[in-house]
Amino acid sequence: MTEFKIEAKKVLDELFSFVEIEFDNFDIDYEDENLVIQTFDEKRTFIISIHEPSSQIWLSSPISGAHHFEKDKNSINWMSTRDQNIILYKLLKSELRMTKD
């Protein structure tokens, strides 16, 4: 297993735990190398995927669309490839809170 894949799987594990602890209105599950987060009413689905060929984590969001993230070499953050001000954890947390009600 590559170093990228080890790190990416760790991120998905951390996100899984975070969502299970912080949000009780989502169904969360692993499907292959995808983390699927769905509202119980099944109206919104977030998919976080490991994309090994590009060494990126991809997010499909029903709120903000598609994002690709790469690990920042100087920190533990996964930053958007389009806008380095967008950080995976912060974006996901913010959007999950929007769909909480």
pLDDT digits (tens, 9 = 90+) for 19-37: 999 988 899 999 888 999 9
Q: Label residue 93 exposed, middle or buried (CB < 10 Å: 0-12, 13-18, 19+).
A: middle
CA-to-CA dists, residue 62 to 43, 53, 67, 80, 99, angstroms: 9, 24, 11, 17, 10
Alpha helix ranges (H) inside the chain: 3-22, 88-98
Domain that holds residue 75: 3-98
Q: Which pLDDT value is given to residue 75?
A: 87
pLDDT range class, residue 93, cuts 50, 70, 90: very high
Total tally of structural domains belonging to the chain: 1
How far, in Å, CA of 89 to CA of 50, rounded? 15
pLDDT value at 43 more than 70: yes
Here the CATH number for the domain that contains residue 20 is 3.30.920.10
The crossing angle, in degrees rounded to 10, of helices 3-22 and 88-98 is 30
pLDDT value at 17 more than 80: yes
| pTM, two decimal places | 0.92
Q: Which pLDDT value is given to residue 62?
A: 95
